[in-house]
Amino acid sequence: MAKKSSSSTTVPDTAWLGRGRHLGPEPEQDVRRNLIALKAAGVLDDFLDLDPVEAARSTVLHPRDESADPGPSARRLFEARWRVADDVTVRAQLTLYDPEARRKEGEGVAWVLAAEAEWAWDMHWPSPALMFWPDSDRVAWDHDTVGGVRLRTTNHLPKDDDELRHRLRDCTRQSWYIHVVVHEAMTPDAIGQQPISTFLPPSLRHRVIEHRGTPEQAQIADFAMKRELSVRMPRGGAVVLPTAPQGPDYDAERFTVRSVFLDGSEPTELLDRIKEFAVLPRPLPAEAERALTQLRQGWHLLTPDEELAHAQGMVTKYAEALDAMRNSRDLYQQAAEAAQAALAEVTGGDGVPRSSAPGHVKADGSPLSALTKAFGRFRDPNK
């Protein structure tokens, strides 16, 4: 699929990855309605709605590759294909998972989304999240796996010092998203309370989670971030949090903005820092790597050209298998004929072994020696 090779430890530049939790009652129905509507509108080329068990059994590209299995807790698998920038194909898989046994009720349905383009990803392309999930505040699909944190809104920092430090630690170690902390120099009005992600390019919009610190949280937020992440929280400013472990390209000073006006105007400097951070090499979590492997090796939604190429490939494989079977049959037939000839040689053709007169038997002329020579030719598989 991808035109470029990628490292096994960093997110490839062709990929878009996301995961979260859907807290509504019917996540599958929300996805189906959105896919049907977008296909009818011509946004999607096509989509598939698959049962995970059947999908694993009928994997098209690598039918024997176990890494293409979405796992036993998967409850539904969706695939979609669309084009961007005129003719660049994007393929994406959304997998829904049942809550883990250790989680409490009400944690919702977990989901993982992996999308990959034929070329390096452009943040101005449409968001893969909105190809599957509806862009509606009434559908609660945008909860992060870190509790109490959502996309598409502002998340106020916990008041408690310990809770605040745990929140920062979890967001940098567990979340797949870019986390930005903005400190409110004064309580903003309704316009200033809108998340800054609304100013971001479409594909980046659903990769950023915004945290807000109230005016009185300046010191506690600064202390917690300095202790946990070795970054500072400027009063009335913002900082893009590093990943854990912190990458070598991250510079805390570079990704700190001293002043952010929350008056509804576009925070240009902060947006530039977020975009700059978004293109840095990011570690590829194990679960994300599995999602990419599943997307690449467990893909079902083929184009007509891909279906033809796949059918031709299967014909070639079946022809090779048939030739191998025919060759094996011929070898077995030759072995049987050689065995019969050897048996006839030592028995005189009537099944009764013949023995030579005493003193005239050569060392290599015994019946056992004749059989050994006959079968010895077939010990080497190359003969």
Domain positions in the chain are 15-297, 304-376
- DSSP secondary structure code for residue 100 in this structure: P
pLDDT of 140 strictly over 60: yes
Residue 35 or 357, more confident? 35
CA–CA gap between residue 357 and residue 379 (Å, rounded)? 32
Q: Secondary structure of 219-255 in the HEC alphabet?
A: HHHHHHHHHHHCCCCCCCCEEECCCCCCCCCCCCCCC
pLDDT for the residue 194: 94
Q: What average pLDDT is seen over the chain?
A: 86
pLDDT of 37 strictly over 60: yes
Among 45-59, 285-299, 334-348, 362-376, which is the least confidently predicted range? 362-376
CA 118, 123, 129, 134 dihedral sign is negative
pLDDT of 16 strictly over 80: yes
At 2, is the pLDDT very low, low, confident or very high (cuts 50, 70, 90)?
very low
CA–CA gap between residue 249 and residue 122 (Å, rounded)? 21
Residue 36 or 381, more confident? 36
Q: Residue 135: what are its φ and ψ, rounded to 5°? A: -85, 70
pLDDT for the residue 158: 96
Q: Which 3 state secondary structure label does DSSP give 268?
A: helix
pLDDT of 209 strictly over 90: yes
At 309, is the pLDDT very low, low, confident or very high (cuts 50, 70, 90)?
low
Range 58-70 burial, b when 16+ CB lie within 10 A, else e = ebbbeeeeeebbb
At 105, is the pLDDT very low, low, confident or very high (cuts 50, 70, 90)?
low
Prediction pTM value: 0.79
Alpha-helical runs (H) found in the chain: 27-40, 52-57, 129-132, 161-173, 202-205, 218-229, 268-278, 286-297, 304-347, 367-376
Burial tier of 287 (Cβ tally within 10 Å: 0-12, 13-18, 19+): middle
